[in-house]
């Protein structure tokens, strides 16, 4: 199989605080992981491509200083939303690449009050 | 740049009826094509994929899709829909990354409702 987990599954935080979301590939090693953002009833928007041992590649319009991505090992990538504001509230989904296929985590619902 | 169009935002079908969800793509080379399904508040599950070879691909849950290069389409079909198929369906096209892996571009999705 190819299982990807995310933690936490949901988080509520106060405006101005930082939140870290973990993405793990449980039964395979992933050189490349991806982070997506999904607004209600909308499609997935790729935020960044995370490569193990190197800096993430951010999509145009995504603030790299606000959405910090670290891919420290072949099974773990983290997304930190720094100084979160209500407009950052969203559903964040990660995926891990195996061969030419992406396997998706269950998502993290972030609510910023 | 690659893009995916799913013309139908919502589709309602009766249980037992056949289903076809449309997907058109724009890509400069031979595309890698995917269909995913998403239940509310959940991640994405792969239904099927096309990389090369037979243009009619079979997937899980009784779904199939046909790659038609001349029409730049990759429509998803199911002969008989079940109530549990109600969900959001996303078509995606993938481009190979230099370092490996596939970068996906998603369509806007089609919300499927199934009437009992």
Give me the DSSP letters along B18-72.
-EEE--EEE-SSSPEEEEEEE-TT--EEEEEEE-SS-SEEE-GGG-EEEEEGGGT
Pairing state between β A76-81 and A67-73: antiparallel
Nearest CA in chain B to A107: B43
DSSP state of B12: E
Torsion sign over Cα A100, A70, A94, B93: negative
At CB < 8 Å, which residues of chain B contact A?
A: 32, 34, 36, 41-46, 49, 51, 90, 94, 96-97, 99-109, 111
A31 and B CB contact within 8 Å: yes
pLDDT in tens, A20-70: 999 999 999 998 999 999 988 888 999 999 988 888 999 999 999 999 999
A16 and B CB contact within 8 Å: no
Distance between CA atoms of B69 and B106, rounded to whole angstroms?
Answer: 18
Cβ distance B97 to A32 less than 8 Å, yes or no, reads yes
pLDDT in tens, B20-79: 999 999 987 778 999 999 988 888 999 999 988 899 999 999 999 999 999 999 999 999
Distance between CA atoms of B67 and B57, rounded to whole angstroms?
Answer: 8
* Chain A environment of B95 (Cβ under 8 Å): none
């Amino acid at each position: 199989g190819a299982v990807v987990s995310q933690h936490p599954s949901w988080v509520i935080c106060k405006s101005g605080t930082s939140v870290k979301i973990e993405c793990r590939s449980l039964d395979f090693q992933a050189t490349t992981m991806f982070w997506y953002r999904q607004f209600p009833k909308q499609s997935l928007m790729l935020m960044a491509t995370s490569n193990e041992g190197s800096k993430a590649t951010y999509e145009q319009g995504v603030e790299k200083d606000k959405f910090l991505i670290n891919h420290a090992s072949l099974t773990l990538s983290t997304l930190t939303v720094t100084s979160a504001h209500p407009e950052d509230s969203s559903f964040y989904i990660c995926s891990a690449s195996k061969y030419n296929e992406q396997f998706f985590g269950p998502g993290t619902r972030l609510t910023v009050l | 740049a690659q893009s995916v169009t799913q013309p139908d935002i919502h589709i309602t079908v009766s249980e037992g009826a056949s289903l076809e969800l449309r997907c058109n793509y724009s890509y400069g080379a031979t595309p890698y094509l995917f269909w995913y399904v998403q239940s509310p508040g959940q991640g994405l599950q792969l239904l099927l994929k096309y990389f090369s070879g037979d243009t009619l691909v079979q997937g899980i849950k009784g779904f199939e899709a046909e790659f038609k290069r001349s029409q730049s389409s990759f429509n998803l079909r199911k002969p008989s829909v079940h109530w549990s198929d109600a969900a959001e369906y996303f078509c995606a096209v993938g481009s190979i990354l230099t370092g490996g892996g596939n970068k996906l571009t998603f369509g806007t999705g089609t919300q499927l409702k199934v009437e009992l």
